[in-house]
């Protein structure tokens, strides 16, 4: 089927009490592996690219690859811009054919975040594309984003933020961090419940790489409808290539490295989809 937007799949997840897995892809092999995992588990899926990834491969290239794989798939596949860092990048993603976008204004103060996010949301709405915003700060480092301290989302501010921006999903900070955790994270899971009481749109969990299955499941049970995975995929993909080269140092065929990476990523993604509960939820 053709690429779909994230709107219905996230509303279905919200109603069904599960989360859609959203996986950051860096190349053709990772993209194909994520779609293959979704096919095997009959799960809806979101493919994500960050600003540095699209600088590496371009918006148009990733859209073309995603569209080609989605066309062959029997499950809903969405292509999402993750952590859109500027209004211009959001516009370019919309022009390129992305079917979901995020504008990340969480680095700004509350009023400026509202102004910038609404600008992006208005542009996407005119194209019929859903928009994710972020309120509060997720710590750690991913892509161009580097935050030293966590600032968890204020539930009352979340309600105002959603109403004034017109976004269709909201990334909520609860103590997670991008990248891997140096120490066991202290998650304010009750914050999800508090935000959910005041906000009607689907909630999003960033920084899930390295969280335990139990933590992810509880976050989903409390109301997270989309869970992002990035760093873990990079590690799984790269480690598969390293292992193959250790076994055969004379290997020079990049296709064999790609196949090893794809298989490893596919199996990892299937495991994360099962934790999110989105398996057999394709419609």
First-to-last C-alpha distance (Å) of the chain? 11
Q: How many CB atoms lie within 10 A of CB 95?
A: 12
Burial of 219 (0-12, 13-18, 19+ CB in 10 A): buried
Out of 82, 150, 215, 279, the active site residue is: 82
Look over the chain and give the mean of its residue pLDDT values, rounded to a whole number. Answer: 93
Asked which of 133-142, 160-169, 201-210, 230-239 is least confident by mean pLDDT, the reply is 133-142
pLDDT score for 137:
64
> Smallest Cα–Cα separation from 78: which of 129, 115, 147, 149?
129
Q: What DSSP element (H or E) covers 143?
A: none
Annotated binding residue 178: yes
Taking residues 108-122, what's their average pLDDT? 97
pLDDT at 193 over 90: yes
Taking residues 186-210, what's their average pLDDT? 92
Annotated binding residue 57: no
pLDDT digits (tens, 9 = 90+) for 230-271: 999 999 999 999 999 999 999 999 999 999 999 999 999 999
> Smallest Cα–Cα separation from 202: which of 177, 179, 219?
219
Establish whether 253 is a catalytic residue: no
- Is the separation of the CB atoms in 270 and 242 below 8 Å? no
Annotated binding residue 231: yes
Query: Model pTM greater than 0.75?
Result: yes
Assigned fold of 6-234+266-276: TIM Barrel (3.20.20)
Whole-number Å distance between alpha carbons of 104 and 89 = 11
Backbone angles phi, psi at 141, to 5 degrees: -135, 130
Res. 142 pLDDT band, cuts 50 70 90 = very low
pLDDT score for 116:
97
- For the chain, helix (H) and strand (E) counts, in that order, are 11, 11
Res. 54 pLDDT band, cuts 50 70 90 = very high
Q: In what order do the strands lie in the sheet with 145-147?
A: 145-147, 139-142, 177-178
Annotated binding residue 134: yes
What DSSP line would sit under 26-86, residue for residue?
Answer: -SHHHHHHHHHHHHHHT--EEEEE-HHHHHHH-HHHHHHHHHHHHHH-SS-EEEEEEEE-S
Annotated binding residue 83: yes
Domain ranges of the chain: 6-234+266-276
């Amino acid at each position: 089927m053709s690429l779909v937007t994230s709107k219905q799949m996230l509303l279905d997840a919200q109603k069904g009490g599960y989360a859609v897995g959203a996986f950051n892809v860096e190349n053709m092999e990772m993209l194909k592996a994520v779609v293959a995992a979704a096919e095997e588990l009959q799960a809806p899926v979101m493919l994500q690219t960050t600003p540095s990834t699209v600088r590496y491969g371009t918006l148009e290239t990733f859209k073309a690859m995603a569209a080609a794989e989605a066309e062959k798939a029997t499950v809903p596949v969405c292509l999402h811009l993750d952590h859109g860092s500027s209004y211009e990048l959001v516009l370019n993603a919309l022009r390129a054919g992305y079917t979901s976008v995020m504008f990340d204004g969480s680095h700004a103060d509350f009023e400026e975040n509202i102004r910038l996010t609404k600008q992006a949301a208005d542009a996407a709405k005119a194209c019929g594309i859903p928009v994710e915003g972020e309120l509060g700060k997720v710590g750690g480092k991913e892509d161009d984003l580097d935050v030293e301290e966590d600032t968890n989302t204020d539930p009352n501010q979340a309600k105002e933020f959603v109403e004034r921006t017109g976004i269709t999903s909201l990334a909520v900070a609860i103590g997670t961090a991008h990248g891997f955790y140096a120490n066991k994270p202290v998650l304010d899971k009750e914050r999800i419940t508090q935000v959910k009481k005041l906000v009607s749109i689907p909630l999003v969990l960033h920084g899930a790489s390295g969280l335990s299955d139990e933590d992810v499941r509880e976050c989903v049970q409390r109301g997270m409808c989309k869970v992002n995975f990035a760093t873990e995929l990079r590690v799984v993909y790269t480690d598969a290539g390293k292992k193959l080269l250790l076994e055969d140092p004379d290997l020079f065929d990049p296709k064999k490295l790609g196949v090893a990476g794809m298989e490893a990523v596919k199996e990892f993604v299937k495991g994360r989809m099962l934790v999110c509960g989105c398996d057999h939820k394709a419609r």
